[in-house]
Chain A
Amino acid sequence: MNVDQLLSLSPLLLLATAVITVMLCIAMKRNFLFISSMATAGIILTFLALAIAWQKAPVQATFLLRVDHYGLFFMALLLLAGLAVLALCHDYFKHREGQNEELLLLLLSALLGASVLVSSSHFATFFMGIEILSISLFVLISYPLRQARPLEAAIKYLLLSGVSSAFLLMGMALIYAQCGELYFSGIGDYIARQTALNAMLVSGIILIVAGLGFKLSLAPFHLWTPDVYQGAPAPISAFIATVSKGAVFVLLLRFFINTDSFSYPRLLHVFSIIAVLSILLGNLLALLQDDVKRILAYSAIAHIGYLLVALIAAGSIAPALAVESVSFYLVAYFITTIGAFGVVSVLSTVPTEADNLSIYRGLYWRQPWLAGIFTLMLLSLAGIPFTAGFIGKFYIFTSAAEGRLWGLLAAVIAGSGLGLYYYLRIIVIMSLNTPEQTVPIASPEPRESSNAWISTTTLVSLTMLLVWLGIYPEILINIIQSVSYTMQ
């Protein structure tokens, strides 16, 4: 390994060091605030190291990892998302009894897994990344040990995640048996040499798609999502919805572009069906929910469906535009989702998770700023101008229209229409008057105003970012464009 490779791997190495340091510190002395700042410092250092790797990129560091601008960009996004989740976790967990320090350790290790995932170019790192991420998530979900719901959620996630890993492994085995390669580009070369449809390879890829479908909670593999989102603590739900799904999606896109699996049109048909199902089912089922976290879970299913539309478009348009669309949409989705779950997290108190819609009744008049932030996040999810979500949706429209995917576009429009209904429903409930007697069991005001300032600051910065990207997206577009052209 030469110096360039070592430097380009420095973010991953630093993150791993941070994990170990935090672990040792916990062994020596437990102090939530101290460990939180350690973890924050670890993430920030890693983030700074990205700058070094950025200058060296693209580097093939061993044949397992490829450190290119595409991967580094998403690593930066994941780290920032991790930082925001950490801030939310701090306020969420600091008053809870029990030993909360390991939570931060697990967040770091999950981030490590996600970072490996976005830079992997080989099935071995692919699998390792996914497993590091998932195993950390099992524990994170069930972190409030003495409550029934998180435990139930964790078991559900554990079982289904195990099954999906088995699918992934089986798919990899099939592909390996057929072409003798574990390296993405090697598989790509093999596919390029084939003239006819190769059944074994296609079944391998479909098994991988099914496995990733579980992780991405695409319909029909979405059944775990609402329960897990509802059961997990709110900041952790935000983490699953963004970091875990984002990293897997980034990997999926890289896998598809590198192996050129788009040359199998039937595979695109499978994807199209999955995308339409996800958009329609996600939005339709969200209509029936009375629980904010479940609504957000179903809406996340639909949003990954929209993303998939851009991925399918990569089959018939310049991949750079598809990568650009996916990247922008992911950034907007990250900001919005963390923001929305962040509001839930800030409103949650130690005994009650703020997931029931009745808690939000009259929020405008009780906590106008928080309600305003939530409204903006919901409008961004609905794709209304002035928010980053709109530019994201515009990108999806552009790439799908360029690829002439009229059917999928119809699904996106229908989905957006359905989606509006439940986003607006939350907004309507927030604007209703509260008669004094229906104030929820534990009024969250004192906590919010007195000492959740870290979460509040995070939410305010996310909101500013959301509006800024909605009005002036050019800077981010330029960065993403430079990233997406280096992708091939």
Chain B
Amino acid sequence: MILSFLIAILFLGGVLAWCSEYWHPDAARWVAILTLIIEALLLLGQYIDAEPVVMGSPNMPQNWLADYYHTWIPRFGIAFHLALDGLSLLLIALTILLGFMAVSSSWTEIGQRQGFFYFNLLICLAGIVGVFLAVDLFLLFFFWELMLVPMYFLISIWGHENRSYAAVKFFIFTQVSGLLMLLAIVVLVLINHHHTGVYSFDYFTLLNTELPPRFAFWLMLGFFIAFTVKLPAVPFHTWLPDAHTQAPTGGSVILAGIMLKTGAYGLLRFVIPLFPDAAMQFAPIAMTLGAINVIYAAAMAFAQSDMKRLIAYTSVSHMGFILLGVFSWNIIGLQGAVITMLAHGVSAAALFMIAGALQERLHTREIGRMGGLWAILPRLSALTLLFAIASLGLPGLGNFIGEFLVLLGAFKVNVLLTCVAALGLVLAPLYALLVIQKALHGPLQNQAPLFDVNRRELTSLGLLTLVTVWLGLHPGAVLDISDPVLQWEMQLSAVAP
């Protein structure tokens, strides 16, 4: 029951935020904060009370913490079925954390139509939490699309100069690939229907569907494309630099921090468990794509002069590691992918917040028009340095653990690709230090007096600093939570026919 509250609270909060605008123009952001606090408490309560739930076959490792089932459209065996396990718990926690960050970074940036802004923000978060909880494939698609529409509005109404183009491109890329997934879902359900005579969209029922290999490959591809467009992987990544650059800071934080992770989550939770054989055959191609992703996007990042665009490309680059880790399909690689998801969520969100803060002060995103900022914005510059080196994978910070584990896991499977991807670790300092050098050092370009970070920004970025340091120094806490899930999935694909 609490699981459905997790989604409902965000919905209600969104509607309330919209309505509160008529009462006081600034009330919406407080409503949003309050909603997120309730959401966080709910999740915490759920985690503390959690008792293992037996789902699927009982002789598997039991990793599910909570379960909520309610029939929805019995005609097709569609149910409102939510379930929580360690992986979704971690990602929802990340969602809530970055939800706070998104509200914080929009605090002064969004002046117009605040009510509608926070409405969209919270509905988008509701969709994302829904994706992390859904274990009914129809419901998954439902939430998958639900998070699109508000994000589209966030970009197209509050975005920067080229927002309409970016928003439409983002929407069409994800929607069309989503339709491919819907088609794959429907065909999977129909095949199961032919075998068993009942319609069911339930994840646990469909896990055991026997698929003709030829079908399995195409169905796997349908899911894979939908998730890798969101991830994004190289041939499908072109929407991302535009969307991330044009979105308002809050939108970029959500996009880079969590929405990309829905793609990674989908690969982990759905693509490989549902189609283990096809996915294993496809793994070399997927890993190649991952390696290309790392190198190509890092090189592209190096060539950018727009700060947000550069950060966007670094996101693409890091997502390559996730692809590599997931498709190496051993516990180390998977753990690495999970840590990378979390650590990148934090560091990318922080970098976008910094870019937003700089844009608010300097009214530009061009790195060339910055320079010498350390002299006038010492605290903000120090934070920039911290997150830039976190992003390049400095040991002791979260990203390093993730990337290291991914490379370790992938090395067991494919040495060549691992070596290629490891080059990404060489390229990352190049672009990260480029930003530091051009924006923070050098001659001072801007003579106007600028305010350094205020208390709100310091608190938010400080919190993210703590998280990234904690992930880097004590990853065990996270690994313990995600371990049973990954064990379960490994076993699932091992016993699969």
A interface residues (Cβ-Cβ under 8 A, vs B):
365, 379, 382, 384-386, 390, 394, 397-398, 401-402, 409, 413, 416-417, 420-421, 424-425, 427-428, 431, 472-474, 477-478, 481
A selection of 29 A-B contacts at a CB cut-off of 8 Å is: A379-B149, A382-B175, A384-B175, A385-B142, A386-B142, A386-B146, A394-B182, A394-B186, A398-B76, A398-B186, A401-B183, A401-B190, A413-B183, A416-B175, A416-B176, A416-B179, A417-B176, A420-B168, A420-B175, A421-B168, A424-B152, A424-B167, A424-B172, A428-B168, A473-B73, A474-B73, A474-B75, A477-B75, A481-B75
Q: Contacts of B142 on A, CB cut-off 8 Å?
A: 385-386
Q: Which listed residue (B146, B153, B156) contacts A385, Cβ 8 A? A: B146
Inter-chain CA distance A398–B148, complex, in Å, is: 23
Interface residues on B, range: 20 to 34
**Pairwise interchain contact B183-A385, C-beta atoms closer than 8 A:** no
User: Smallest CB–CB gap between A436 and chain B, Å?
Assistant: 16
Q: 5 other contacts beyond A420-B176, A431-B156, A474-B75, with CB at 8 A cut-off? A: A394-B186, A401-B190, A402-B190, A431-B153, A473-B73
Which residue in chain B gives the minimum CB-CB distance to A413?
B179
Name, among A379, A428, A478, A481, the residue most crowded by chain B CB atoms within 10 Å (CB to CB).
A428
**Pairwise interchain contact B172-A474, C-beta atoms closer than 8 A:** no
Inter-chain CA distance A472–B80, complex, in Å, is: 11
**Pairwise interchain contact A478-B156, C-beta atoms closer than 8 A:** no
Q: Contacts of B149 on A, CB cut-off 8 Å?
A: 379, 384
B374 at the interface (CB under 8 A from A): no
**Pairwise interchain contact B182-A428, C-beta atoms closer than 8 A:** no
**Pairwise interchain contact A401-B75, C-beta atoms closer than 8 A:** no
Task: List B232-271 residues whose CB lies under 8 Å from chain A.
Answer: none
Q: Contacts of B107 on A, CB cut-off 8 Å?
A: none
**Pairwise interchain contact B73-A401, C-beta atoms closer than 8 A:** no
Interface of A is mostly: helix
B74 at the interface (CB under 8 A from A): yes
Which residue in chain B gives the minimum CB-CB distance to A474?
B73
Q: Contacts of A420 on B, CB cut-off 8 Å?
A: 168, 171-172, 175-176
**Pairwise interchain contact B179-A477, C-beta atoms closer than 8 A:** no
Name, among A401, A425, A474, A481, the residue most crowded by chain B CB atoms within 10 Å (CB to CB).
A401
Task: List B333-392 residues whose CB lies under 8 Å from chain A.
Answer: none
B187 at the interface (CB under 8 A from A): yes
Q: Contacts of B478 on A, CB cut-off 8 Å?
A: none
Inter-chain CA distance A365–B115, complex, in Å, is: 13
Task: Say yes or no: A401-B168 contact (C-beta < 8 A), given A413-B176, A474-B74.
Answer: no
User: Smallest CB–CB gap between A146 and chain B, Å?
Assistant: 39
Task: List B429-481 residues whose CB lies under 8 Å from chain A.
Answer: none
Name, among A379, A421, A431, A478, the residue most crowded by chain B CB atoms within 10 Å (CB to CB).
A431
Binary A-proximity of B166-191 (CB < 8 A = 1, otherwise 0):
01100110011001101100110010
B145 at the interface (CB under 8 A from A): yes
Which residue in chain A gives the minimum CB-CB distance to B184?
A401
Inter-chain CA distance A90–B454, complex, in Å, is: 58
B141 at the interface (CB under 8 A from A): yes
Q: Contacts of A425 on B, CB cut-off 8 Å?
A: 168
